[in-house]
Amino acid sequence: MPPAPVTAHELRDYVHVLVCRTVGGCAEYDAFTASEEARGCAATCQLLRNTRAVEAALQRPQQLLVCLQQAGHARVVGLCDAVRKLDTVPDDRVLFWGLCSLTGIPTHNSLRVKAPTAPLLVDARFACFVQSYWLLEHMQVLEAARIQTYLAQAPGEQSIAAQIQQYTSSAHAASDADLEVYARALEFVRVSLQTTLDGTPGPGARGI
């Protein structure tokens, strides 16, 4: 049975933990949640269950890439490695003839992905996968940037609890739509990689 897709609610809790760890300090917050979990606090236990579900889902693509490497899908693994190292989401479209780095088939509409030796051209039909994978690999960085932008303009005398509460209710925080995008990206990447590994068509995503 494939794992259940991560929900927007689970992602909300995951992002909340990122906020708390950024504002309050990782060691301090982790020690607090560990003590609350140990004493059986229901709210904290649920928060951590949801957070761990997202962490496991974020690890799944890397596990699949290991399997793909072992199965000889070096092009897919190389593409993902290049995408992971990019600072910004790849969106440079190329509308002239080239060879797709994944399929080796000529394409007149591709996405340029920077790589250490030479740029990779990826046919436009794989753009959703490329951009979804980048998003997942940079989720923590993006959310930390949101928090830091807010903290830079927040009053310095606020308590940590007040900063967290005001941030999560502000326009800076991830919206429900943002969380849905994360959830869809997670499932799309997982299904795409699994489909490629299985070598069979799958619903919701095509093989790479």
Q: What is the pLDDT of residues 166-197, one digit of tens each?
A: 999 999 999 999 999 999 999 999 999 999 99
Q: Which of 3, 128, 10 is nearest to 63 (CA)?
A: 3
The pTM (predicted TM-score) of the whole model is 0.90
pLDDT > 70: what percent of the chain?
Answer: 96
Instruction: Reply yes or no on whether the pLDDT at 97 is more than 50.
Output: yes
Q: What's the whole-number average pLDDT of the chain?
A: 92
**H or E stretch covering 198:** helix 176-198
Distance, in Å, from the CA atom of 198 to the CA atom of 207, rounded to the nearest integer, reads 9
Q: pLDDT-based confidence at 203, cuts 50/70/90?
A: very low
pLDDT in tens, 75-94: 999 999 999 999 999 999 99
Rounded to the nearest 5 degrees, what angle is found at the Cα of 34, between the Cα atoms of 33 and 38? 115
